[in-house]
Structure 1
């Protein structure tokens, strides 16, 4: 298994509640920095679709509990 290091946005600063990303064996892995045991595997196309939706505000109505 070939994996790059986990990276988070520089906009996150010292916050521990952010999304981290890395590439592993050609797949893109996403996780929350405060819960590193949960990893979502996705493809470049799926990530591009997600980012496009986020930029368009498709997820703005979602809240966390």
Structure 2
């Protein structure tokens, strides 16, 4: 099975406040960097691509407003 290494954004904090992603076959996995042995969310490539498109377009920016 084709598996990439876990990666996180370069803008992530050094204290582990971030998530990591990798591709395993046709699935994108996402996990909490602070809990690497914990649960993993799994998305199809289409689902992850739709989320990335929304994030690039600012659709989720309101979630950061107001704490």
Query: TM-score category by the smaller chain?
Result: 0.7 to 0.9
Matched, 1:56 2:57: yes
Structure 2 portions without partners, runs of 5+: none
TM-score, normalization by structure 1: 0.73
Structure 2 partner of 1:17 = 17
Cα distance, 1:60 vs structure 2: 0.8
Bigger helix fraction: 2
TM-score, normalization by structure 2: 0.72
Aligned pairs, number: 64
Structure 1 portions without partners, runs of 5+: none
- Aligned-residue Cα RMSD (Å) equals 2.2
Distance 1:2 1:52, change over 3 A: closer
